[in-house]
């Protein structure tokens, strides 16, 4: 007879055990399990809440705007993005780097913190992983549309063809294809494997047959046996070990889009660690942006506690200081190099026609986040929410400023 095995922290209760009635602790009161409270959010007995339909309508409207924008782009050409002969990347590459950076927090929270046995990750890792998948999907749109003929994007893959053409493997843009594709695949597997016990729990608690069938297909026959838990934990740990270097390598490859060029300001060895720190910085900011409203709307204060928010704020503060060091290093490199081109680039960045964007990113990414040193600010959810919005705007401006180096007059 197989011995019982407790469900690891971060999953719902074992699907093998039937749902028991919550113990009564007083007249009119009951003490629910964690599984009861989380399952009730999805398996509502009284139907979908009107606020969900409102959010769904707004999201559908935004998707319609996206489809109309993409249609207009394909009809008129990438020139509507401002791309022309001297401007080769612009808007597309800014958003590619920004979205990929946001997607890094999900894998960091799930994989690296799992390997370091940081149990506080378990309250936020599910939606952080889902955020990673959506962020990578958004990032993939921009290089796909940037080629101008997205229906021919399969030319980027090294497949046997009659034309005798092969991708240019010395191009960092080609490296992006493999790096982002690998990252998306591993992130999806990591998210899905971790979700299997929870899908089984939802299957066993669902009331309608078609819902049970859908959750059952996703659960892959999970019954909560000791053998299942053993193989699950082995696979989850192996995927965590595989995903951990991807957090560093993927954004390092993205930084090579700039660093391997000969453009002053881009050709710098600081870019790989600078980009990785910035990715974790913006990624955790987006996790806070999602966590605070979700925590409030679904009354999850017992699961996403003040401690979780403070830990995320500390990670934001630490990575924000690394990003600030990167800004200082760029200024030092420009001065210490003695190159008139590097110094002209930095002067143009700080006092040129787009100087406002540089000082705005310094304000948003360096100055305002210093409030996180104050414990009272770290403990106030809506103050953290406001700072996370500011950081995400600042990180977009950072990529905007980097791309301006290629297009602005010096």
Cα–Cα distance, 308 to 103 (Å, whole number): 19
Contact 366, 324 (CB under 8 A): yes
Give residue 61's pLDDT.
97
Report the DSSP beta bridge partners of residue 26: 29
Give residue 192's pLDDT.
93
Q: What is the pTM of this model?
A: 0.84
DSSP 8-state symbol, 379: T
Give residue 71's pLDDT.
92
Could you tell me the CA-to-CA distances from 323 to 110, 291, 334, 362 in Å, in that order?
22, 23, 17, 10
Cα–Cα distance, 50 to 203 (Å, whole number): 24
Long-range contacts of 324-332 (CB under 8 A, 24+ apart): 324/365, 324/366, 326/270, 326/273, 326/274, 326/277, 326/278, 327/362, 327/365, 327/366, 329/270, 329/274, 330/265, 330/268, 330/270
List Cβ neighbours of 291 (8 Å cut-off, separation of 6 or more). Answer: 124, 127, 304, 308, 309, 312
Residues 325-343 as b/e (b if ≥16 CB within 10 A, e otherwise) read ebbebbeebbeeeeeeebe
Give residue 9's pLDDT.
46
Cα–Cα distance, 146 to 176 (Å, whole number): 13
Give residue 263's pLDDT.
83
* Local confidence pLDDT in tens for the 410 residues of the chain: 333 344 554 455 443 344 444 443 333 334 467 777 777 777 776 667 788 889 899 999 999 999 999 999 989 888 888 887 777 778 888 999 999 989 888 888 888 888 888 888 888 888 888 899 999 999 988 888 888 888 888 888 888 878 777 888 888 888 888 888 899 999 999 999 989 999 999 898 888 888 899 999 999 989 989 999 999 999 999 999 988 888 888 889 989 988 888 888 888 888 999 999 999 999 999 999 999 998 888 888 888 889 999 999 999 999 999 999 999 998 998 899 888 988 988 888 888 888 899 999 999 999 999 999 999 999 899 999 999 999 999 999 999 998 876 554 44
Give residue 2's pLDDT.
39
Which of 358, 360, 361 is CA-nearest to residue 346?
358
Neighbours of 217 (CB within 10 A): 11
Which of 401, 395, 408, 343 is CA-nearest to residue 369?
395
Give residue 45's pLDDT.
63
Report the DSSP beta bridge partners of residue 9: 11
Give residue 161's pLDDT.
79
Give residue 247's pLDDT.
83
Query: Residue 92: which H helix or E strand, with range?
Result: helix 91-107
DSSP 8-state symbol, 112: I
């Amino acid at each position: 007879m197989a011995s019982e095995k407790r469900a690891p922290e971060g999953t719902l209760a074992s699907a093998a055990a039937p749902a028991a009635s919550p113990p009564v602790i007083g007249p009119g009161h009951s003490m629910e399990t964690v599984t009861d409270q989380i399952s009730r959010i999805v398996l509502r007995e009284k139907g979908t809440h009107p606020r969900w339909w409102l959010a769904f309508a707004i999201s559908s409207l935004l998707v319609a705007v996206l489809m109309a924008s993409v249609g207009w782009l394909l009809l008129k050409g990438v020139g509507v993005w401002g791309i022309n002969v001297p401007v080769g990347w612009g808007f597309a590459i800014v958003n590619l780097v920004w979205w990929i950076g946001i997607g890094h927090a999900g894998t960091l929270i799930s994989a690296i913190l799992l390997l370091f046995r940081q149990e506080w990750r378990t309250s936020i890792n599910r939606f952080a992983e889902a955020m990673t998948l959506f962020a990578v999907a958004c990032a993939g749109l921009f290089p796909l549309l940037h080629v101008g003929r997205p229906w021919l994007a399969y030319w980027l893959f090294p497949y046997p063809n009659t034309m005798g053409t092969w991708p240019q493997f010395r191009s960092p843009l080609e490296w992006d294809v493999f790096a982002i594709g690998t990252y998306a695949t591993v992130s999806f597997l990591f998210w899905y494997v971790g979700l299997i016990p929870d899908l089984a729990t939802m299957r066993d608690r669902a009331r309608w047959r078609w819902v049970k069938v859908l959750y059952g297909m996703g659960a892959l026959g999970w019954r909560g046996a000791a053998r299942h838990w053993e193989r699950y934990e082995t696979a989850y740990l192996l995927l965590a070990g595989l995903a951990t270097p991807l957090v560093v390598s993927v954004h390092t490859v993205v930084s090579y889009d700039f660093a391997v060029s000969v453009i002053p300001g881009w050709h710098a060895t600081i870019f790989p660690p600078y980009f990785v720190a910035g990715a974790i910085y913006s990624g955790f900011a987006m996790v806070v942006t999602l966590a605070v409203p979700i925590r409030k709307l679904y009354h999850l204060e017992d699961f996403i506690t003040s401690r979780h928010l403070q830990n995320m704020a500390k990670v934001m503060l630490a990575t924000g200081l690394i990003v600030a060091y990167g800004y200082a290093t760029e200024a030092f490199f420009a001065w210490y190099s003695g190159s008139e081109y590097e110094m002209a680039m930095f002067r143009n960045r700080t006092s040129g026609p787009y100087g406002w964007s540089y000082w705005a990113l310094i304000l948003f990414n360096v100055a305002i986040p210093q409030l996180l040193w104050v414990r009272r600010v770290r403990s106030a959810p809506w103050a953290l929410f406001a700072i996370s919005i500011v950081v995400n705007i600042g990180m977009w401006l950072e990529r905007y400023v980097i791309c301006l180096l290629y297009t602005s007059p010096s």
